[in-house]
């Protein structure tokens, strides 16, 4: 059973999410009402996935993401919020979030996203992805510069990158392309190196910005 920590400053929201996830047989092992409390619960419970709201008093979601990253805690974080501002979405993804959904999702969409992140994938609401892609290409929102110039990707690396952008974890990429999972891991590492990206999410953002997803 997938183990989840829910971080939201509203008690009613936390309890509602817990009830929905219980129905879907996802175990909520901890709750927190701000970033500081979240760090403690995450360290104690070591969940498979964290559901994180962005707008919270005191220590908000972005603060939490950055402190998780700075402490080297590599837990997949799914942002679950009512805010879909392009800059806020990018800030969250660049700070380490692996997924971004709005709170109007269905139970099925939420549980699918949780399982996708638990399996090593990424997932961003399609409506947000489409709008974000247009904004990035139009230069309306800033994206980080890579530490090295992008090198040409091979056709196979393009295929892997495209599936990464669609949120596929390595196992599903391997199945889709009829490759060994170890081969996919090697391709992902090469893609990160060529794009100068620190993780999968930043690699996809860089690829979107530079038009590398043919």
pLDDT at 75: 94
92 vs 52, residue with greater confidence = 52
Q: H or E segment at 84?
A: none
29 vs 183, residue with greater confidence = 29
Q: How many CB atoms lie within 10 A of CB 96?
A: 23
> How is residue 118 written in tokens?
């638990």
> How is residue 209 written in tokens?
């910005």
Q: What is d(CA 212, CA 143) in angstroms, rounded to the nearest whole number?
A: 15
pLDDT at 150: 55
Query: Confidence band (pLDDT; 50, 70, 90) for 56?
Result: very high
pLDDT at 28: 97
pLDDT at 193: 78
pLDDT at 147: 46
> How is residue 117 written in tokens?
């992140």
Residue with tokens 């891991």: 185
* C-alpha distances in Å from residue 22, one per residue of 15, 26, 95, 109, 123: 10, 6, 29, 15, 21
Does the model's pTM come out above 0.95? no
CA angle 21, 23, 24 (to 5 degrees): 65
Q: How much is the average pLDDT of 165-191?
A: 89
Query: Confidence band (pLDDT; 50, 70, 90) for 159?
Result: very high
Helices (H) and strands (E) in the chain, counts: 10, 6
């Amino acid at each position: 059973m997938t183990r989840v920590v829910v971080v939201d400053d509203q008690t009613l929201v936390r309890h509602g999410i817990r009830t929905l996830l219980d129905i879907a047989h996802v175990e909520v092992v901890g709750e927190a009402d701000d970033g500081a409390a979240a760090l403690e619960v995450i360290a104690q419970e070591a969940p498979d996935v964290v559901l994180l709201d962005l707008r919270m008093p005191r220590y908000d979601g972005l603060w939490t993401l950055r402190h998780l990253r700075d402490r080297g805690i590599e837990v997949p974080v799914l942002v679950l919020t009512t805010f879909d501002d392009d800059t806020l979405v990018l800030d969250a993804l660049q700070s380490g979030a692996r997924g971004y959904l709005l709170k109007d999702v269905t139970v099925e969409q939420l549980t699918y996203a949780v399982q996708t992140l638990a399996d090593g994938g990424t997932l961003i609401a399609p409506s947000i992805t489409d709008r974000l892609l247009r904004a990035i290409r139009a230069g309306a929102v800033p994206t980080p510069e890579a530490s090295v110039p992008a090198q040409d990707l091979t056709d196979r690396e393009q295929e892997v990158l495209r599936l990464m952008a669609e949120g596929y974890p390595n196992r599903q990429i391997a199945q889709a392309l009829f490759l060994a999972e170890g081969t996919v891991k090697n391709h992902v590492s090469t893609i990160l190196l060529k794009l100068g990206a620190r993780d999968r999410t930043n690699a996809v953002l860089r690829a979107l910005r530079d038009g590398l997803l043919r």
